[in-house]
Amino acid sequence: MLRLSQETTLFLNLFLCIGWWDHRGRFGQVHKCVENSSGLTLAAKMIKARSQKEKDVVKNEIQVMNQLNHANLIQLYAAFESRHDIILVMEYVDGGELFDRIIDENYNLTELDTVLFIRQICEGLQYMHRMYILHLDLKPENILCVSRATNKIKIIDFGLARRYKPREKLRVNFGTPEFLAPEVINYEFVSFPTDMWSLGVITYML
C-alpha cells in the first residue's frame, strides 16, 4: 500500500516534470512527468490542500486508489505531501477525455465504439462495487482514453468515492448535476445503483 511521503522535495528528486497534461482535476493541476530512475512517463496531479479538511479529502482519494487494481481504473504510483500541497503520481494516458470524443464533430463515433466504451466502464464499475466502493462522480470528463488510436479507457478521479457499507446507510450531497441519481438529489440512501444511473446518462449521451 502506498503511503504519503512527507517531503515534496523527494518528488522533485525522483521525477522530472516535462509539461502539462490535457486533463485538469477538480482540485489541482496535472503535469506530465518522467521517473528519473526508470524513464517511465507518469502524470503528477498537484493539489492545493491547506486545511485539514482539504487534506482529508485527498487522503480519502489515496486510500480508495490504494485498494483498486484494474485495467480500466487509473492506477496510483506514488504520493507526496508538504505543508500545503499533496502530489499524486499516477499512470499516464494521452487519449483525452471521452467527453472530447463525444463533442468532436470530426470523430466518427460508431455503435461498436459505444459498446466498447460502455463495456469497459461496466467492467471497471463491477470491480469497484465488488470492492464495496462507490465512485459517485461518473461522467465523460472522468473517463480517459488510453491513446487517440484506441478505444481503451480508464476511469479517473476518485476524490468523491466512498466505501459502501450496507449496514451503515450512506447519504451524499455532491456530484455533477447532470449525472446525479434521484437518490442523491433527494438526499436519500445511495448504493451501487447510484453509479449505474450515471452510467445510464453516459450511455444516452453516446
Active site residue 137: yes
Q: In whole angstroms, how far apart are CA 145 and each of 25, 39, 77, 83, 116?
A: 15, 22, 19, 33, 12
The DSSP string of 121-165 is HHHHHHHHHHTTEE-----GGGEEES-TT---EEE---TT-EE--
In angstroms, rounded to a whole number, what is the distance separating the alpha carbons of residues 188 and 69? 30
Nearest to 91 by CA among 6, 2, 12, 151: 2
Question: Which one is catalytic: 94, 104, 137, 157?
Answer: 137
Angle between helices 111-130 and 192-205 (to 10 degrees): 170
Residues 31, 19 contacting (CB under 8 angstroms) = yes
Q: In whole angstroms, how far apart are CA 175 and each of 139, 160, 185?
A: 10, 8, 10
Can you give the C-alpha Rg of the chain in angstroms?
A: 17
Residues facing residue 42 across a β-bridge: 33, 91
In angstroms, rounded to a whole number, what is the distance separating the alpha carbons of residues 203 and 99? 12
Q: Which residues are known catalytic residues?
A: 137
